[in-house]
Structure 1
Amino acid sequence: MAPPEAIRTQVERITASDVFRRADRQCRFLRYVVDHSLAGTTDRLKGFTIGLDVFDRDSSFDPNLDSIVRVEAGRLRTKLRDYYQDPGRQDPILIDLPRGSYAPSISRREEQAAPLEGRIARRAVRGSIAVLPFRNLSDAAEQEYFCDGLTDTVITALARNRHLKVISLTSVMRYKKGQLSIPDIGAELNVAHILEGTVLHDGNQVRVSAQLIEAETDHHIWAEAFERDIAGVMRVQRDIADLISAQLIRELLPEGTPESQPPVKPDAYEVYLLGRGYRRRLTRDGIEKAARCFKQAISLDMNFAAAYGAAASCYCVLGSFGFELEPPENLIPVGLEYSRRAMELDPGQVEPMVYTAIMTLKYEWNWKEAERLFKAALALSPNDSVTHLQYSLYFESLGRFADAIDQAEQGRQIAPLSTEANMYLAWQLHQDGRDDEARSRLLWTLDLNPDFWAAHWGLGHVYLAESRVQEAVASFRKAVASGGGYVMPLQGLGYAHAAAGDRDAALGVIAQLEELGRTQYVSPCIPATIHAGLGDADRCFACLELAFQLRSRSMAWLNVTREYADLRSDPRFVELIRRIGIPGGASP
């Protein structure tokens, strides 16, 4: 059986779904029987006891004369079946109420898996592929970064082909330990084909072997080996990508092979791959180390376009990409220089184009140019999940939530097991007022990673919207304890305290932020939000004015930030929106 906390999370996911939305009796019934199952007291699950405890019958209740328990049990079974046929079809835990018993059946999905043939036939998508992490056959463990980098570059090359559905790197990295079979991976990722390969690195020589496999049958379609000098590794990944693309869309007109780029110096390429490994950690230390690697790669090869683009991404993350770890004015102009140089060297690169769009929106507040860049990036690589997810934020800033949800969902489909992609979709659902769906998505995300701070943070906002203030406080506290979000969870926690009427606790968070600000950068938007919750408009606007001067990334979303709803009629708010240049002016 799954851990008790995971089972309780599953119950909350079920009861929060549209299927159970107006089924208060069935929700209460489900919680009751699951609680007894977890407590080991299923012997109490009798018609009489359930009638008293769940349906408020008195001691004269006779289940032989009053059929309420039997009727509601039947309704509960039907609703559970309906739930798992649609919204819960991929949920990790299955809960059922077997006929003839009131004790629930609880199991992990893999324990109740449908026959393999049925699962694949139902879910596989034509023209879809997942590139599994290349395996390192060298003795040196440090070559893992080389294998991960090669996986990344092959995925990027394939994603440029608009005829293919390519699963993102984030979603495939969980299969690095190789614990599942190819058919099972194909079923989980909803793909028809799998690419797996190995890398043997010896001095300046590298041998890459790749195999294209039909996921349903585990049948090998083709296999190829490439042996090159390290300087030719980027050519190797293009060779592999072109062969796979030709195999999958042979009935369609190929897009053509990308033009050859000048060979990259071997030492520069090795440092570049090391940097990509650091960047995937998504921690401040990892991003800073990655930036140093990319700058070193550039110093070794001044024409290395990919290194410029990767360096730009680091400056974007540190200065504007959600966390705003440093003053944007210190970092974003440098990031823009790197990204524009990357595009000069290789106009076909997607990464610098996407990050230029992000920085143009979040720092330069130029919506028209940002939109042009997002569209150009998607035209070049329709399967890039980062582009779709960031484009969703563009639409969100304009209050176009339906478009934001559409882009976030496209990004999630490319990276179905990415906690970040699922978080983006949940956030846009929340912004559109679809909090039941947002909550279900966030709970599912926490099943993937119970320590993911952003999912706890998102749940806090959902609970605030539902006036479940104490639950919001608890969720924000979990986000703070999980780490990774830096000061963003404190912003939510302080506002939740204010919403709960606990002024002292809210002021305590502001004091904590002031103390942190003595040794590190804290965006003025963080305390501004808490002051708004406390009803202190003057202090709020003082912080927002400073945020405007610093060009804080959060200012682009000022018009759709729920915490400022009571300030939108204030002339200072209207004027601030005008100065930022948000299209359409201040929202009513």
Structure 2
Amino acid sequence: MQERRGHAPSPTRAPPNADDIRAQLARILSSEEFPQVGRSVSFLVYVTEEALAGRSDRIKGYSIAIEVFKRPEGFTQDDPVVRIEAGRLRRALERYYLVAGQDDPVRIEIPKGGYAPSFTWRASADSAGSNEKPSVNASGWRFFLSVRSIVPMAVGAALAIGVVTMGLVLSAHITVQPKSSPAIDGPTLVIAPFVSFRNDPQAALYATGLTEELLTALPRFKEIKVFGRETSKSLPPETEAALVRDELGARFLLKGAVRVSGNAVRVTARLLDTDTNEILWSQTYDDKIQTRDMFAIQSDVANKVATAVAQPYGIIARAIVAKPPPSDLGSYGCTLPFYAYRAELSAIRHAEVRECLESAVARFPTFATAWAMLSIIYLDEDRFKFNPSNDASSPLDRSLQAARRAVQLDPGNARAQQALMTALFFMQNVPEALRVGEQALLTTPNDTELLGEFGTRVAMSGAWQRGAELLDQAIALNPGGGGYYHGTRALAAYMLHDDKTAVIEIRQADLQKFPLFHAVAAIIYADAGMMEDARREAARFNEMRPDFIRNIVAELRSRNIQPDDRARMITDIRKAGLPAEDEVRSTMLAPTDGSVEVWPR
């Protein structure tokens, strides 16, 4: 990093004094890049003040457990709470200095091997600049922080409140320039080590392997934050939900057990809400060692658990919707409305989500998932004619640009790959779109949002049978997913001349606020001979999208529908009572008002 104003730090400079250190502590605690959950704030304040008081040699795991975590005097070192939180605090400080604190004059660290902090001048801060007092009332902070010496650790609770108000003052003097994707500020999950029944060595081996597989499978879902291996391994086997809530600030705990009896393997898994200790979900998986090896069983179970728990419409998402946190969710606050919009596909929700996501990427420009969702929202301006903006660039161009930004920021992000695939598809680059989808599915095979979207693209490019199979997988993995899974599956069944399935699936889709749902319902009912239903749906569609029919050929082409399939759809929409021109006649007419749309896009 370059030296500011060209001065190098003096090698003989005195170490930071107490005022320098307390001012730096104020900067850290007021930053949005430093977590205000768990006990990181209390931990950092305690060890800093102890060190400034000349008591570094007394900063031990035992004293921290008593003073910060309020463990009873009979506390034993078997409790891993201090080790867990110390690791979390080290990572939080490291992130702070990488993102918000790049130009701060003083560095506060908790060196590994102990808990006493170190205070050093930053190499990037010049002598003159570092000696300048920050525009913070340091003596006020000193008084505030030293309250802990009068009322032991009362600051642990008060500081979190004080930081909010002091942050208004500090924000005028601290510039935050994020350089990497921020951690999702939504639901957090801890995976406790799976245990074995009866301390069986073989079952213990399976349990260890399964825990590792879960630690690999769950972080692929970017809408949740999963604590890492170090945290998981440091937890006792029978971790209590209250410990996870109080010491790690995590909302959800996944735990389970493995039993081996002869050739039979049984895995039980359950997800708990740490706020209430309620079991939100539980499942039992049975398998046979003689038919499949240990690694295959572990991988299969881990993928099934991860899909049920963490997918966009899964157990955690439903729990958050049912009981949202009381605090502002920040960037994560747009993701739940995004999926609610995808489940409903209405113009009103589209406008709300677009505004939220545009605000999110302005505040967090490196948040890949928000860029990916925004790409899909921009695409819907074009393909669904939802809320066209006054932007000079076309919705398709903005969609592709946002998708590429998301992939650049996080190449492994399933939502980013989904957005890029879909944008490329509607830019008429079908081979590249399907290549991106295939590759993304290899990386994240159980993300049903990606799987359903890829199945839709495959089907609409003409491979209706394979598309139907992919959509069946998405529906099986995620029965509570968006209605558009069923809507696209209904269209695939129609194209495959499976009238019975087409009717069943279109009724399950039930997207009443989505105009193109009614168009697909009309052609399905017409093909099945259900003419009253067909005419009703066709009339409803024409009311909602009166501009559609005169451009039907162009719209079907824009979605890469093949010529024979286009002809069949036009025939059936005419049966349903709408005056759609066939393809030959439409080529003789010159449209003058642009293109419209056919569902599903």
Q: Please classify the TM superposition score into its range, dividing by the shorter chain length.
A: 0.3 to 0.5
TM-score normalised over the length of structure 1: 0.42
The structure having more radius of gyration, on CA atoms, is 2
TM-score normalised over the length of structure 2: 0.41
